[in-house]
Copies of this chain bind each other. A is one copy, B any other.
Amino acid sequence: MPRATVKRTVGTSSRSKREDILAAAADHFGRQGYEDTKWADIAADVGVGSTALYHYFESKLHCLFEIMLDTLSSFRTVFDDVTHSHERFEDGFVALLHANFELNEAEVARCRVLVAEQGRLSQPRATEREEEARQRARSRVRELETAWSNYLSRGMATGAIPEADPQLLTRAVLGFYNSVWHWYRPRGSLSLSDVDEFFVPRMLMIVGLAPAPAPRAVS
């Protein structure tokens, strides 16, 4: 995703404390898992006391929902940028699939957190700020799915891909894509470009676009 988003490097002074906390939390959640991460670990990384974190987030869960929101927003930005910059559906769709694999390590961690903890988005929360963040994140998931679904419908309308239930096709393609983040680890035996090479042609098959020598997303 985020060639289009501002890079977040731990320790950059131009970044706000809130962003530092989100980055440290995403890193911990991604490596240790959300459950096993303690507020204190995040606080130590950012160099503040545990109670100071509560100035920014009501709870660890509130922080998780804000990370999900940011991640979903980055995906949406990439979606809009890529689809608007290609006239033909075929070109835009291929570029979109590649763009979603253009991620740095911090972004991969966020994707992993998003897919690992997405179940929490369906459980209503008791406190106002948690519930408000949860609902915003949930709406953002729906908006992103609707954007994909409309885009696929456009591909069907122009005859680029065969007719199918656009909502189900969206779930299939995004489900296949998201499955990567359940097992992929940076600095393992596979690079993200290996994964891209394996998955993109298969994603194209799923929607019914024959795999062609694909133009790479702008890097």
A5 within 8 A of B: no
- Collect the chain B residues with CB atoms within 8 Å of residue A123's CB: 32-33, 35-36
- Collect the chain B residues with CB atoms within 8 Å of residue A175's CB: 176, 179-180, 182-183
- Collect the chain B residues with CB atoms within 8 Å of residue A183's CB: 171, 175
Cβ–Cβ contact B198 & A168, under 8 A = yes
Q: Is chain A's interface secondary structure helix, strand, loop, or mixed overall?
A: helix
Q: Indicate the member of A119, A164, A198 with the most B CB atoms within 10 Å.
A: A119
| Additional A-B contacts beyond A171-B183, A172-B199, A175-B179 (6; CB < 8 A) | A35-B123, A36-B123, A119-B182, A164-B198, A176-B206, A202-B206
Which A positions have Cβ atoms within 8 angstroms of B? 32-33, 35-36, 116-120, 122-123, 164-165, 168, 171-172, 175-176, 178-180, 182-183, 190, 198-199, 202, 205-206
